[in-house]
Amino acid sequence: MSDPMSDLSSKDVADLSEDEARAELERLAAAIAAADIAYHQNDAPEITDAEYDALKRRNDAIEEAFPELVRTDTPTGKVGAAPAEGFAKVRHGVPMLSLAKAYTDEDVTDFIERGHRFFQRDEGLALAFTAEPKIDGLSASLRYENGVFVQGATRGDGTVGEDITANLRTIKDIPERLAGSGWPEVIEIRGEVYMTYAEFQALKERSAAIGGQDYVNPRNTAAGSLRQKDPSITASRNLKFFAYAWGFTSADPAPTQFEAVQKFAEWGFKISPLMVRATSAEELIAHYKTIEAQRSSLGYDIDGVVYKVDQLELQRRWGFVTGEPRWAIAHKFPAERATTVVRGIDIQVGRTGTLAPVARLDPVSVGGVTVVNVTLHNEDYIKGFDSKGDPIRDGKDIRIGDTVVIQRAGDVIPQIVDVLIEKRPPEALPYEMRDTCPVCGSPAVREVNEKTGKADSRRRCTGELSCPAQAVESLKHFVSRGALDIEGLGAENIELFFSKGLLGTAADIFTLRDRRPAVQQALAERREEQARAREAASGKTRKNVRSVEDRNYEGLDKLFAAIDARREPELDRFIFALGIRHIGETTAAALARNFGTIEEVIRVGKETAAAADPMAAFPSIDGIGGTVVEALVDFFGNERNDAVLDALLLQVKPQPYVVTISADSQIAGKTVVFTGSLEKMTRSEAKAMAERLGAKVAGSVSAKTDILVAGPGAGSKLKSAAALGVEVISEDEWFERVGK
Ligand code: IVH
C-alpha cells in the first residue's frame, strides 16, 4: 500500500505542487521544532544530526522554490527552539485595544449620552448595549482558519503579542476545532484566560507540599502559567477561557455583539453567563449592581462590568480614539480596601524549612471578610521590594506598629498595598528578619540558586528533621492524601502525638500500637480539654458523659487498622510521602516508573549524591531537571535521612512499580505515535512503556501507524491520523488499554 505522507517527503522539490509544498513546509516546521525542543530544551535528541540537517535542507529548498509559502514560524535561520528569553512575536490582524473606564454612575450616564449625541442625526435609532463582567485575567487572541485553531497570542503591546499557541492548546475551554457551522473562514477570537480560586488554592497547596514557590494571586499565576516553556505545566494549571470579542475576521460573526457572542458559544467556547442586553443607563447600572452582588461567589476574579454598543454597524460608525473604542467602556468596581494596624510579625516554619513571615493585624473587615493575618512573603517584600529588586508599595517598608492599607486582591488573598508613613509610631524600627529558625534555633539561610546566582527570596531553616517544626510538618505530609493517606491520622492527631513525644519520624507511626496506653491517654486528655472549652463557652455543664475510655477503644482499633493497611504502599505514593523538596506527585510517579523499586531509587539517589557531577550521573528522565536532581542529592547525601529511611523500611514495604499487561493487550506488535502534551507521563516514559508492552514507537504518523495517542495541543499529527484513518485515543484511554 502506498503511504501518502512518506511519498510526499521523498518527492523531489521540483515535482511538488503548491499544495504539496505547503503540506511539506508544515510537516518540516513541526519536525524541526520537535527536534529543536528535544535537543535544546529536553537535552534528549530524538534524531541524528544528519537527519536534522536533511530536514533543514529540504525546508530551505522548498522555501526557495515557493517563497510565497514561507511560514510565519519558518524554522529557517532560527537557532534552536524559541529562545529562552521569550516566545516568537505575533502581529495581531487587528490591534487588541484597551477600554476607557467609568468609576461612577455619572460616568456611565455620560457615556450613554455621548452615544445618543453622536447618533442624534439618526432619528428613531434604537441604540442598545451589552453588559458583561470584566474578567480579571489575561486577554488572548486565537486565530481560527477554516474552523481550526492555528495560532494563539498574548495581547503584548496591543499590536504585537507573543505566540503562546502550544500553551493555549492545553486549555479545555479553547476548542481545537470550532463546533457547529457558519464560522468565518478566518477569525481571531478574543477573550480572557483566567484561573479560578479553587485552582489557585489547589496549586498553592501542591506547591507548599513540596516546598515550592509561593503564588501571589490568580491573575499573576495565570500569566505565569501561560508563559511556560513546557505546555504540560500550563496544562496542569487548568486555566479557563471566556470568549467575548474578536479581532480580524473575514466576515462579521453576526449583526450584533450579543448575537456574535452567542455564536461563540455555539462554536464551542465558554461565554459569560452574566451578559445581558439593555438600552438605558439605568438598566446597565442595575446589571452592574447584580453582577457586583454575585462577585464574591463567582469563584474567579472580575474587576468591573464592560458595556459595549450592541449593533456592529453602530460600533463601526462611532469608531475609536487612540487605543480605545469609543463604543465601549469598563465600569470598574471600587477596590475593596480597609485600614488597620500591624501588631506583630510571626515567622512560620514550613515542612521544607521555609521561613514565612506573617503579619498579625487588628481584625478588620475587607469586602465582608474579617482579616487578621496577611502573608508578608519574605524579607525583601517587607523591605518594599519584589523578587526582581523593583520597589513595591513605592518602596515603603512594613514595621510593627504601622498603619497599613489592606486589599483583598481577587477577593481571596488579603495583602498590604500601602503603609501610612504619617501614622508610623516614632519608635517603630525597620523589621530585621532573623537568621535563625524561631523553632529550633538552627541557622536560617538564603540559599543561592546555582543557575541564576541569585539568593532565594525566603530563608530556610537548616535543622531538617531535628527542627520540630519541619519534623511535624513532614509527618503531616507523610500521612496526607497524595502520600500514604492514613485515615484517622490527620494533622491534628499528628500534632498531638508529636507534642506528647509519641511520634518523632515516619517509622514511629507504624509502631504507634506499641504505645497504645499513652496514645489513648493523649486522646482522652484532648477530649477533656475540648469539652471543658465548650462548656466554658456555652456556660452549660455536661450530663451523662460516657467514659472516655469506652469511646476511645473503637476509634483506636480503627486507627491502628488504617495504619496497618498502609504497610505496603504504592511506590509513587511512598516516594512522594518522603517529602523530598521539589518532588510532587508527578515527579514521584516519574521516578517510580523509571526505577521500579525503592531499592533502585535509593541506589541511584546515593550514587548521584556521591558523584562528582550529579547531573551527569543521574539518568536522563523527561521532565526531571536540575532542581529535582539537586533535591535528590541533598536528600540522599544526608546521613540523617539514611537512618530515617532505614527505620521506615523496616516497617513498610513499598510495592515495586509494575505495569500490568491486560490479557487481551492490543498493544503488542502495534506501531504507536504519541503527540500533544501528555499529562500523566513524559514522552520518554510513554515510549518506554509502549516498548515494554511490545509496541513500536514512531515519531510521525504514516499509513503504518496503528494508534495515535493524542494529548491536548495535538496538531498536524492529529490531522494526518484523521486523513489516514488511524485510530486516535486519549492518554486516559491509553492507560485503560495498557491496564495501568
Ligand atoms: S472587550 C475593544 N470584554 O479588559 C474591546 N474586555 O481594558 C476589547 N477584559 O484587554 C475588550 N473582560 O483583557 C472586553 N468582557 C470583556 C472583558 C475585557 C476583561 C479585559 C481585556 C482587555 C481589557 C481592556
- pLDDT tens-digit readout, 597-631: 999 999 999 999 999 999 999 988 877 888 899 99
Q: Whose CA is nearest to atom 17 of ligand 1?
A: 134
Which of the four pLDDT bands, split at 50, 70 and 90, describes residue 209? confident
Q: For a pocket test of ligand 1, which of 306, 315, 326 has the largest count of ligand atoms closer than 8 A to its C-beta?
A: 306
- pLDDT tens-digit readout, 146-158: 999 999 999 998 9
Q: Per the domain annotation, does 82 fall within a domain?
A: no
Q: For a pocket test of ligand 1, which of 94, 192, 257 has the largest count of ligand atoms closer than 8 A to its C-beta?
A: 192
From ligand 1's centre to the CA of 142, what distance in Å?
15
Q: Per the domain annotation, does 665 fall within a domain?
A: no
Identify the residue whose cell numbers are 474587576.
Answer: 303
Q: With the C-alpha atoms ordered 213, 233, 473, 465, is the resulting torsion angle positive or negative? A: negative
For the chain, the residue count is 740
pLDDT at residue 80, rounded to an integer: 34
> Does the pLDDT of residue 559 top 90, yes or no?
yes
Q: Whose CA is nearest to atom 13 of ligand 1?
A: 139
From ligand 1's centre to the CA of 98, what distance in Å?
7
Identify the residue whose cell numbers are 515527579.
Answer: 587
pLDDT at residue 4, rounded to an integer: 44
* Better-predicted residue by pLDDT, 39 or 542: 39
Establish whether 450 is an annotated binding residue: no
Mean pLDDT, rounded, for 426-443: 95
- pLDDT tens-digit readout, 684-727: 677 767 777 777 778 888 888 999 999 888 888 888 898 899 99
Q: Can you tell me the distance from the alpha carbon of 502 to that of 526, in angstroms, rounded to the nearest whole number?
A: 14
Establish whether 731 is an annotated binding residue: no
Establish whether 662 is an annotated binding residue: no
Q: Can you tell me the distance from the alpha carbon of 246 to that of 253, in angstroms, rounded to the nearest whole number?
A: 9
All 3 cell numbers of residue 441?
Answer: 534555633
Domain that holds residue 472: 465-564
- pLDDT tens-digit readout, 254-272: 999 999 999 999 999 999 9
From ligand 1's centre to the CA of 700, what distance in Å?
40
- Which CATH number fits the domain that encloses residue 118? 3.30.470.30
Q: For a pocket test of ligand 1, which of 97, 135, 333 has the largest count of ligand atoms closer than 8 A to its C-beta?
A: 135
Please check whether residues 161 and 118 belong to one and the same domain: yes
From ligand 1's centre to the CA of 241, what distance in Å?
13
Establish whether 190 is an annotated binding residue: no
Please check whether residues 297 and 377 belong to one and the same domain: no
Which of ligand 1's atoms lies nearest the C-alpha of 139?
13
Which of 420, 437, 462 is the last residue before a domain boundary? 462
From ligand 1's centre to the CA of 342, what distance in Å?
37
Identify the DSSP state of 41.
I
Which of ligand 1's atoms lies nearest the C-alpha of 132?
15
Domain count, the chain: 6
When mean pLDDT is compared across 56-65, 377-386, 404-413, the lowest value belongs to 404-413
Q: With beta carbons less than 8 A apart as the criterion, state whether 449 and 424 touch.
A: no
From ligand 1's centre to the CA of 253, what distance in Å?
18
Q: Can you tell me the distance from the alpha carbon of 310 to that of 608, in angstroms, rounded to the nearest whole number?
A: 64
Q: Can you tell me the distance from the alpha carbon of 134 to that of 131, in angstroms, rounded to the nearest whole number?
A: 9
Instruction: Please give the full DSSP string across 142-182, using - where no structure is assigned.
Output: EEEETTEEEEEEE-TTSSEEEB-HHHHTT-TTS-SB--SS-
Please check whether residues 317 and 345 belong to one and the same domain: no
Establish whether 155 is an annotated binding residue: yes
Q: Can you tell me the distance from the alpha carbon of 694 to that of 692, in angstroms, rounded to the nearest whole number?
A: 5
- Which CATH number fits the domain that encloses residue 482? 1.10.150
pTM of the model: 0.56
* Better-predicted residue by pLDDT, 464 or 112: 112
Nearest Cα to Cα of residue 740 among 654, 662, 679, 623: 662
Q: Per the domain annotation, does 83 fall within a domain?
A: no
From ligand 1's centre to the CA of 311, what distance in Å?
18
- Which CATH number fits the domain that encloses residue 709? 3.40.50.10190
Q: Can you tell me the distance from the alpha carbon of 267 to that of 236, in angstroms, rounded to the nearest whole number?
A: 25
Which helix (H) or strand (E) segment holds residue 572: the answer is: helix 571-577
Please check whether residues 182 and 281 belong to one and the same domain: yes
Q: Per the domain annotation, does 474 fall within a domain?
A: yes
Instruction: Please give the full DSSP string across 683-714, using - where no structure is assigned.
Output: HHHHHHHHHHTT-EEESS--TT--EEEE-TT-
Q: Whose CA is nearest to atom 23 of ligand 1?
A: 98
Which of the four pLDDT bands, split at 50, 70 and 90, describes residue 374? very high
Which of ligand 1's atoms lies nearest the C-alpha of 325?
2
Q: Whose CA is nearest to atom 21 of ligand 1?
A: 139
Identify the residue whose cell numbers are 540523617.
Answer: 640
Q: For a pocket test of ligand 1, which of 94, 98, 99 has the largest count of ligand atoms closer than 8 A to its C-beta?
A: 99
Please check whether residues 510 and 550 belong to one and the same domain: yes
Q: With beta carbons less than 8 A apart as the criterion, state whether 464 and 640 touch.
A: yes
Q: Can you tell me the distance from the alpha carbon of 524 to that of 191, in angstroms, rounded to the nearest whole number?
A: 57
Establish whether 192 is an annotated binding residue: yes
Q: Per the domain annotation, does 317 fall within a domain?
A: yes
pLDDT at residue 450, rounded to an integer: 67
Which of ligand 1's atoms lies nearest the C-alpha of 155?
10
Q: For a pocket test of ligand 1, which of 103, 139, 190, 249 has the largest count of ligand atoms closer than 8 A to its C-beta?
A: 139
Establish whether 230 is an annotated binding residue: no
Please check whether residues 579 and 509 belong to one and the same domain: no
Q: Whose CA is nearest to atom 24 of ligand 1?
A: 98
Establish whether 332 is an annotated binding residue: yes
Please check whether residues 439 and 470 belong to one and the same domain: no
Establish whether 308 is an annotated binding residue: yes
The radius of gyration of the chain from alpha carbons, rounded to an integer in Å, stands at 30
Q: With beta carbons less than 8 A apart as the criterion, state whether 326 and 113 touch.
A: no
From ligand 1's centre to the CA of 99, what distance in Å?
7
Does 500 qualify as catalytic in the annotation?
Answer: no
> Does the pLDDT of residue 536 top 70, yes or no?
yes
Catalytic residue among 56, 78, 134, 270: 134
Q: Per the domain annotation, does 81 fall within a domain?
A: no
Q: Can you tell me the distance from the alpha carbon of 25 to that of 46, in angstroms, rounded to the nearest whole number?
A: 20
pLDDT exceeding 90 applies to what percent of the chain? Answer: 57
Give residue 308's identity as a one-letter amino acid code.
Answer: K
Contacts of 132 (CB under 8 A, 6+ apart): 244, 272, 274, 275, 276, 305, 306
From ligand 1's centre to the CA of 166, what distance in Å?
23
Which of the four pLDDT bands, split at 50, 70 and 90, describes residue 40? low
- pLDDT tens-digit readout, 77-90: 543 333 335 799 99
Please check whether residues 685 and 707 belong to one and the same domain: yes
Around Cβ 419, how many Cβ atoms within 10 Å?
20
pLDDT at residue 532, rounded to an integer: 86
Please check whether residues 158 and 285 belong to one and the same domain: yes
Q: Whose CA is nearest to atom 22 of ligand 1?
A: 98
Contacts of 114 (CB under 8 A, 6+ apart): 326
Which of 306, 332, 358 is the last residue before a domain boundary? 332
Which of the four pLDDT bands, split at 50, 70 and 90, describes residue 540? low
Q: Per the domain annotation, does 509 fall within a domain?
A: yes
Please check whether residues 409 and 361 belong to one and the same domain: yes
Instruction: Please give the full DSSP string across 96-143, using - where no structure is assigned.
Output: ----EEE-SHHHHHHHHHHHHHHTTTSTT----EEEEEEE-SEEEEEE
Q: Whose CA is nearest to atom 12 of ligand 1?
A: 134
pLDDT at residue 3, rounded to an integer: 40
Which of ligand 1's atoms lies nearest the C-alpha of 134?
12
pLDDT at residue 121, rounded to an integer: 67
Establish whether 69 is an annotated binding residue: no
Q: With the C-alpha atoms ordered 300, 305, 311, 315, is the resulting torsion angle positive or negative? A: negative
Q: Average per-residue pLDDT in the chain? A: 87
* Better-predicted residue by pLDDT, 411 or 331: 331
Which of the four pLDDT bands, split at 50, 70 and 90, describes residue 544? low
Q: Can you tell me the distance from the alpha carbon of 436 to that of 518, in angstroms, rounded to the nearest whole number?
A: 34
All 3 cell numbers of residue 448?
Answer: 543561592
- Which CATH number fits the domain that encloses residue 599? 1.10.150.20
Q: Per the domain annotation, does 659 fall within a domain?
A: no
Which of ligand 1's atoms lies nearest the C-alpha of 99?
7
Which of 76, 106, 129 is the last residue before a domain boundary? 76
Q: Give residue ranges with CB within 6 A of ligand 1.
A: 97-99, 132, 134-135, 139, 155, 192, 244-245, 306, 325, 328, 330
Please check whether residues 482 and 455 belong to one and the same domain: no
From ligand 1's centre to the CA of 246, what distance in Å?
11
Please check whether residues 454 and 486 belong to one and the same domain: no
CA 388 from centre of chain:
21
Look at phi and psi of residue 163 and say left if phi exceeds 0, alpha if psi is from -120 to 50, else beta: beta
